[in-house]
């Protein structure tokens, strides 16, 4: 089974939805609440490149926020990732990476 980590803030509805999704799937995860923990929030930002919560990691790889995890689940891919312990790069991150390459190669 994959190692799952989730960074959240207590007031965030998307964080609550992501936790609920993982709970429904009976996923064991490490929950890191960054509501009042700036150091952990900076670690999350460094790891994911995102300033928003939630941020979900599978085996150390960022799979994005709630929308990304929900899309993986709807496509039937989340169970596969969790079972195999593999992670993928969400399409939104692939697009951002391609845009960054274009910016820096010009």
- Per-residue pLDDT band at 1 (split at 50, 70, 90): confident
| Non-local CB neighbours of 50 within 8 Å, separated by 6+ positions | 44, 62, 64, 65
Express each pLDDT in 41-88 by its tens digit: 999 999 999 999 999 999 999 999 999 999 999 999 999 999 975 555
Would you tell me which CATH number, out of the four given (3.40.640.10, 3.40.30.10, 3.10.20.30, 3.40.50.720), belongs to the domain 4-105? 3.40.30.10
Q: Supply the pTM of this predicted model.
A: 0.80
User: Where are the domains positioned within the chain?
Assistant: 4-105
CA distance 88 to 19: 20
CA distance 39 to 97: 26
The conformation of residue 60, written as its DSSP 8-state character, comes to T
Sign for the CA dihedral angle at 6, 9, 53, 73 comes to positive
- Per-residue pLDDT band at 99 (split at 50, 70, 90): low
The conformation of residue 31, written as its DSSP 8-state character, comes to E
The end-to-end CA distance of the chain, in Å, is: 42
Edge-first strand order for the sheet with 29-33 is 29-33, 4-8, 55-58, 61-64
């Amino acid at each position: 089974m994959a190692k799952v980590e989730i960074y959240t803030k207590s007031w965030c509805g998307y964080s609550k939805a992501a936790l609920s999704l993982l709970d429904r799937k009976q996923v064991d995860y490490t929950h890191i609440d960054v509501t009042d923990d700036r150091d952990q929030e900076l670690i999350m930002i460094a790891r994911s490149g995102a300033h928003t919560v939630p941020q979900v990691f599978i085996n150390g790889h960022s799979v994005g926020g709630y929308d990304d995890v929900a899309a993986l689940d709807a496509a039937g891919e989340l169970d596969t990732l969790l079972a195999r312990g593999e992670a993928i790069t969400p399409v939104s991150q692939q697009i951002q990476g391609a845009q960054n390459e274009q910016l820096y190669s010009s």
